[in-house]
Structure 1
Amino acid sequence: MADKQQARNSSVLVIGLGRFGAALAATLDRLGREVLAVERSSELVQQWSGRLPLVEADATNPEALDQLGAEEFPVAVVGVGTSLEASVLITGNLVDLGMPQIWAKAISAEHGRILRRIGAHHVVYPEYDAGQRVAHMVSGKMLDYIEMEDDFTIVKMRPPREMQGFTVKESDIRRKYGITVIGVKPPGEPFEYASPTTRVNADDLIIVSGDTVLLEKFAQRP
């Protein structure tokens, strides 16, 4: 009984099986989360049938959400982005149901502002975020880039020459550049948290964090 309640408490309602919604639902399902996908396109429902728990329904209709028990889900994700009207209507319906957490996809800043005003708790911009991430990665040694809030960023990159063969303490990166080495991953070995005595080799990967501008400058080091 407790296990069933815990599963329900971690369940996610995903509305819209476009590229974003489908990838999200499939990943959550693979991670063992209880997922229910809602899609009004019979073609997409047929495409994902047997691969995901899903129902064919029009979530712009409040009665459809009532019938599938949407209010029982603690988290809902509105993956509809191409139709502004549908996105707003679905989000509004979820707000009316009192959903504890509503995540909504937006395709523009204006779209995002509307979603927030009607009550979405979190608004995401998948296309913008992906474009920004790739731009940072192609402009230097960055292999992965995650920008958090307040200009705090985490980056995976190759170590610059001045770090190669030296320990974290010896290279003194934090004092020189104002960033922090979080961890090091030697080839073929697991990630390890960095300490002052951790030695960085030329073929290692390093995980560094800090201010976005400072990391950009650091990533340009030869």
Structure 2
Amino acid sequence: MIGLGRFGGSLARELVVRGSDVLGVDSDPERVQRYADELTHSAVADTTNRDALEQLGIPEFRHAVVSIGTDLESSILTTSLLADFEIANIWAKATSRQHGRILERVGAHHVVLPEHDMGERVAHLVTGRMLDYIEFEEDYAMVKTLAPPAIIGSPLAESGIRSKYGITVVAIKHPGEDFTHAALDTVVRDGDILIAAGRSTQVELFADLT
């Protein structure tokens, strides 16, 4: 984990909790000290320096996360060095879409825009139409929403959801029960919660039915 700010530190801590060995690296000694007792290893280093990365054994890692905040030059140079080391799985935090495109060009396999992604997700939830919303690509998403009145009392196969709205209900939760896989003969009840997947505009239209 390169960069132990709020995002990087939180992610590093969660990875340790989930059983991963994590080396946390930051140029700020105070940040490194803050997480020293929680991470497997920690070090103060200039991650734009190839020799410093090699001394830490970073070329031997299979996964790396670059979570450097507003220092775009350091973020880009560090990501480029990790790509030179041929690390198999490089995640990088971006502060803008343009920053993200540059990170991809220099070798990042996955780019995360935490503020943008969270803002977009919350915007969908604030309307009150959705219980949760996750966008996987720019045009594909999954939504958690209450079952619309139009399909209550009908099996999913007869509701016409796929033909009318272009979405697929993948899971359903009846009141007082756990989520279960949605089958064609599943009858939708009043108060059911559905997990539906499809194109972003289509799942939004489906959620509007509630």
Q: Please indicate, yes or no, whether the TM-score normalized by the shorter chain is above 0.5.
A: yes
Offset of residue 32 of structure 1: 1.6
Name structure 2 gaps, 5 residues minimum: none
| CA displacement at 1:188 relative to structure 2 | 4.4
Equivalent residues of 1:140, 1:219 under 8 A apart: no
- Does residue 95 of structure 2 align to residue 107 of structure 1? yes
| 1:182–1:208 contact (8 Å) kept in structure 2 | yes
Q: 1:140, 1:220 within 8 Å by CA — same for their partners in 2?
A: no
Structure 1 segments, 4+ long, off by >4 Å, are: none
TM-score (norm 1): 0.86
2:198 corresponds to: 210
Matching of residue 30 in structure 1 with residue 17 in structure 2: yes
Residue 7 of structure 2, aligned match among 20, 25, 31: 20
Give the alignment's TM-score, normalised by structure 2: 0.91
Identity %: 49
Which amino acid is the alignment partner of residue 178 of structure 2?
Answer: P
1:144 is displaced (CA, Å) by 1.4
Indicate how the Cα distance of structure 1 residues 186 and 43 shifts in structure 2: closer, same or farther if over 3 A, else same.
farther
- Which one-letter code corresponds to 2:164 in the other structure? K
**CA–CA separation in structure 1 for the residues paired with 2:74 and 2:65:** 13
Q: In the alignment, residue 39 of structure 1 is paired with which amino acid? A: D
| Contact persistence 1:168–1:198 (CA under 8 A) | yes
Write the letter of the residue equivalent to 1:96: D
Matching residue within 62, 67, 85 for 1:74 = 62
* Kept after mapping to 2: 8 A contact 1:102/1:122: yes
1:36-55 paired onto structure 2 within 5 Å: 36-55=23-42
SS at 2:137 equivalent: coil
- Asked if the contact 1:104–1:122 (Cα under 8 Å) also holds between the matched residues in 2, the reply is yes
Q: Distance in 2 between matches of 1:128 and 1:191?
A: 29
CA shift at 1:195, angstroms?
0.6
Superposed CA RMSD: 1.8
Query: What is the CA distance between 1:201 and its match in structure 2?
Result: 2.4
Residues 47-56 or 211-220, more deviating:
47-56
User: Residue 142 of structure 1: SS of its match in structure 2?
Assistant: coil
Deviation of 1:151 after TM superposition, in Å, equals 1.1
The alpha carbon displacement at 1:187 in A equals 4.1
Question: Which residue is 2:163 aligned to?
Answer: 175
| 2:6 alignment partner AA | R
Q: How does 1:34-183 map to 2 (within 5 A)?
A: 34-58=21-45, 59-149=47-137, 151-183=139-171
Alignment check: 8 A CA contact 1:45 1:54 kept: no
CA distance in 2, matches of 1:220, 1:91: 41
Question: Contact 2:24–2:32 at 8 Å: present in 1 too?
Answer: no
Structure 2: how far apart are the matches of 1:157 and 1:34? 37
Q: Is the 8 A contact 2:29 2:44 kept in 1?
A: no
